[in-house]
Amino acid sequence: MIPKPKAISGKDVAAPIPCPDVTIVVPTYMERRNIETLIERLQVVLVGVNWEVIFVDDSSPDGTAAIAKELGQFDARIRCIRRIGRRGLAGACIEGVLASQARYICVMDADLQHDENLIPQMLNVLQRNECDLIIASRYMTDEPIAGLTGRREHLSRFATLLSRRFLHITLSDPLSGFFAMRRDMFDDIAAKLSPDGFKLLLNIVLVEGPHLNIIEIPFGFRARHHGESKLDTRATLDFCALLLSQATANIIPQRFLLFFAVGLSGIAVHFLMLKLLMIGDSNFIYAQGAAAAVAIVSNFWLNNNLTYRDQKLSGIDALRGFALFVLICSFGFVSNISISDWIFVGDKAWWLAGFAGAVVSAVWNYSVSAALVWRR
């Protein structure tokens, strides 16, 4: 029961404005040209519903947030959270939901690929208590999907297949970005959700799956209106890291796996460079030094753009970060050599010694650079 506002010393107090029944949470990055159309469509399809929309924009350089706030001047149901210094689809959705006090939330993309006509039906199902979570699925038909190019569709279907096989998920589209649920349920699990990556729904299902009553309904994933997709090969790599991390019961963090993969790529880069440099009659020591330098630059660049892309360093920060990274990795290198030497002398198993040295230095490089170079 909502308490009535009290009259203070005989003065009238304005009546409260009812809170919306549903908050549509829309993560945006570079969606300037889609915002207005999306709002127009929501206004049409949600007639008779008490709704609001919260755009969560990561300071898109194209001024998406400014457009949303400008439109919000004319309609208080249009809100925008502008985040600074952060990137990431899942994190943006989480913050949008946390800012809501409606009974239900619905997460959807800004680029008009999700069919807004489904929202009233999704709400109805929730209001009738038929489920806790309702997912609009792209894969309940065998038709080719308009919104995905051939390669993207294969990748996406493959990722879905992997999550079904390895994570024992029976949903047809656990990676959908279009779903609605009770807000209080989301609030209960919010602290356990990862802001990294794009698979918020999968994360919710993994955290809370057995306790949730889930319904899926089909929809036709439309082609993008304006702009381009931000989910690329990096998103797929991210997803593979999630699967691996799950396979170790989350003992090994997803980021470490990416960091480790980057480290392995560094070895490949090193040997490739060394081979190239040794084609001529080069001095081995110089070639080895140059190859190591290229590998370390490549490792830093990959970690900055892949492992830590949500905290990507640029400009002078990147230079400072790189200098620190080199310093940290040289300590890692020394510990690698000393530990493997120690094991080798004691045990004589060269492969065990080499492996142990590599793992210890990887853990060192990872934890120290997480604390000093890409600290949150």
Q: Decide: 28 and 60 in contact? Cβ < 8 Å.
A: yes
Distance CA 211, CA 314 (A): 43
Under rule CB under 5 A, residue 113 binds Mn ion: yes
Q: Minimum Å distance from CB 195 to ligand GDD? A: 10
Distance CA 263, CA 343 (A): 22
Q: Which residues pair with 55 in a beta bridge?
A: 26, 80
Strands 104-107 and 179-182: antiparallel
Q: Decide: 365 and 296 in contact? Cβ < 8 Å.
A: no
Exactly one of 198, 256, 325, 366 binds ligand GDD (CB under 6 A); that residue is 198
Q: Which of 62, 40, 63 is closest to 53 using CA atoms?
A: 40
Two tokens, residue 301: 């660049």
Q: Minimum Å distance from CB 363 to ligand GDD? A: 29
Q: Minimum Å distance from CB 232 to ligand GDD? A: 8
Query: Which are the contacts of 293, defined by CB distance < 8 A and separation ≥ 6?
Result: none
Q: Which does 173 bind (CB under 5 to 8 A by kind): Mn ion, ligand GDD, none?
A: none
Nearer to ligand GDD, 177 or 321 (CB): 177
Q: Minimum Å distance from CB 258 to ligand GDD? A: 17
Under rule CB under 6 A, residue 28 binds ligand GDD: yes
Two tokens, residue 120: 């009233």
Under rule CB under 6 A, residue 162 binds ligand GDD: no
Q: Decide: 45 and 24 in contact? Cβ < 8 Å.
A: no
Q: Minimum Å distance from CB 229 to Mn ion? A: 5
Nearer to Mn ion, 111 or 208 (CB): 111
**Helical residues (DSSP H) of the chain, grouped into ranges:** 32-45, 64-72, 89-98, 119-127, 150-167, 183-189, 200-208, 233-247, 254-277, 284-302, 315-347, 350-372
Under rule CB under 6 A, residue 239 binds ligand GDD: no
Distance CA 323, CA 161 (A): 42
Give the CA count within 13 Å in the CB-facing half-sphere of 159.
26
Distance CA 191, CA 299 (A): 31
Exactly one of 38, 53, 56, 269 binds ligand GDD (CB under 6 A); that residue is 56
Under rule CB under 6 A, residue 110 binds ligand GDD: yes
Q: Minimum Å distance from CB 39 to ligand GDD? A: 13
Distance CA 68, CA 123 (A): 24
Exactly one of 37, 43, 172, 229 binds ligand GDD (CB under 6 A); that residue is 229
By Cβ distance, which residue is nearest to ligand GDD? 177
Q: Minimum Å distance from CB 60 to ligand GDD? A: 8
Exactly one of 156, 163, 303, 365 binds ligand GDD (CB under 6 A); that residue is 156
Interacting residues with Mn ion between 92 and 111 (CB under 5 A): 109, 111
Exactly one of 225, 230, 234, 309 binds ligand GDD (CB under 6 A); that residue is 230
Under rule CB under 6 A, residue 111 binds ligand GDD: yes
Exactly one of 175, 287, 302, 313 binds ligand GDD (CB under 6 A); that residue is 175
Which residues are at the interface with Mn ion (CB under 5 A)? 109, 111, 113
Which residues are at the interface with ligand GDD (CB under 6 A)? 27-29, 31, 56-58, 87-89, 92, 109-111, 113, 156, 175, 177, 198, 229-231
